[in-house]
Structure 1
Amino acid sequence: MKKIWFCCTLLLSTLIIGETVLAVDMEPKTQKATVNLIENTDPSVSLLEITKASDLNFGSKAIGITDMTLTEEQSPNLVITDIRGDAPGWSLSVSLGEFKDSSNSRVLKGVQLFYPAITLTTSATVDVAERTPETLSTDESFEDSFVKGLRINSSDTPSNKVLIKSVSGKGNGQWTGTYDATHKLELNIPAGNLAGNYESSLTYTLTDGPTI
């Protein structure tokens, strides 16, 4: 029997994969973040306004032989809103008309209203101290000479007196002025006035730009 040998050669190929080293860029990258704030152009929105001004009620008191001072107990406040984009400043002035009794045509004479220095606060949190308007306090309280504020006269031809002013760069946002339990508004009525139920017009005027 003839034997046939079959030889099979197995070729083993070894594949070697070389390592490729990638370059790593460790330098920081600087990108831009932008925002554009614009003024509100909605005609229904007031950019500068007296948002709130409380009525004042000094109650009642019996007539005596000396001058009397009544205090406002309702914690009145003022709210000023300035959402203009460049914060040019503003001033708030006040005037007080005659106190009249419509039932008998009587008029109170020599009346003065005292505003203690008002405390201004805002809900904003940025640079509050640097942006707070100034409250004027050149006069003394009728009740306490250590309390400073502003006196205005009741008159049939009332004149404005600046109560709060804000120079350029201040007063933007919304500011609420309040009076605490110690410093109250006072109404001083000289002796010699007659009994009656009197009412006056208290007018606040907001002006664009500060006024000395």
Structure 2
Amino acid sequence: MWLKQLVGVLLGVCLLFGIAVVVQAQTKHTTAGITLQADPNDSNRTLALKSLPNIDFGTQHISVSASQFQAQSVDAPVAVVNPGLSTGYTLSVQAGEFTDQVKTLKGAQLRFATTTAVPTDQSNVSQPPLSQAVTLDANGAAQPLLVAPAGSGVGEFHATYTKPQVALSLPAGNLAGQYHATLMWSLAAVPVN
């Protein structure tokens, strides 16, 4: 009891004469943690393609020279969902032959320019996948169109291709017809180096 009174008197004297009193602060640290894992009941726990475009080049005139045609319609974005895998991923595309069931377009090349992949949820903090320009030969090898390096592309991202960003190149000498090609899209949980 007398100790408390003595401390009180000393503090009063210090304040009266303007003497600074140093009180030592105490700092301690604790932690906060969370473990994130896929919900076993969630059907969206793997990489998935949510949306892919059909492309139409409309009706064009045959030329005696090589021609390039801009898409007249690209009906949907390319959309990829990554529920939280850290491996990264690659979305590749391959074009089949342009055919009218009898004839094929010779030397056809389908081109995709680069675009920007944006998150569906604007609060997404992950780095987006990277778009790459590709030229697809009919029945040629698949080409990587979107690449998410390890640790990026988490969440849902969509890459919208405008009509000028998709083109079809044809050499001279092809025949009139109504041609269609199948595009094959492949999503793999491995980024291209």
TM bucket, shorter chain: 0.7 to 0.9
Shift in Å at residue 46 of structure 1? 4.5
Question: Residues 135-174 of structure 1 correspond to what in structure 2 (within 5 A)?
Answer: 135-136=131-132, 149-155=133-139, 158-174=140-156
Q: Does 1:132 align with 2:131?
A: no
Q: Does 1:191 align with 2:172?
A: yes
Pair 1:43–1:34, CA change in 2 (3 A):
closer
Write the deviation string for residues 164-206 of structure 1: whole angstroms up to 9, x where unpaired.
111111111111001246x420011111100101111101100
Write the deviation string for residues 78-132 of structure 1: whole angstroms up to 9, x where unpaired.
0000003x42100011100001102xx011000001101021100242434xx12
Structure 1 SS opposite 2:56 = coil
Shift in Å at residue 54 of structure 1? 1.1
Shift in Å at residue 63 of structure 1? 0.8
Q: Does 1:90 align with 2:89?
A: yes
Is contact 2:38–2:45 with CA below 8 Å preserved after alignment? Answer: no
CA distance in 1, matches of 2:33, 2:125: 22
Pair 1:176–1:207, CA change in 2 (3 A):
same
CA distance in 2, matches of 1:71, 1:63: 14
Structure 2: which 5+ residue stretches go unaligned? 1-24
User: Normalized against structure 1, the TM-score is what?
Assistant: 0.71
Pair 1:63–1:162, CA change in 2 (3 A):
same
Larger Rg: 1
CA distance in 2, matches of 1:94, 1:68: 23
Is contact 1:99–1:108 with CA below 8 Å preserved after alignment? Answer: yes
Aligned to 1:101: 100
Structure with higher helix content: 2
Aligned to 1:121: 118
Is contact 1:57–1:74 with CA below 8 Å preserved after alignment? Answer: yes
Q: Does 1:45 align with 2:44?
A: yes
Pair 1:45–1:127, CA change in 2 (3 A):
closer
Q: Percent identity of the aligned residues?
A: 25
Aligned to 1:141: none
CA distance in 2, matches of 1:95, 1:42: 33
User: Normalized against structure 2, the TM-score is what?
Assistant: 0.77
Is contact 1:93–1:205 with CA below 8 Å preserved after alignment? Answer: yes
Structure 1: which 5+ residue stretches go unaligned? 1-25, 137-148
CA distance in 1, matches of 2:41, 2:167: 40
Is contact 2:128–2:152 with CA below 8 Å preserved after alignment? Answer: yes
Is contact 1:124–1:173 with CA below 8 Å preserved after alignment? Answer: no
CA distance in 2, matches of 1:27, 1:168: 42
Give the number of aligned pairs. Answer: 169
Amino acid at match of 2:155: G
Amino acid at match of 2:90: S
Is contact 1:73–1:184 with CA below 8 Å preserved after alignment? Answer: no
RMSD, aligned α-carbons: 2.4
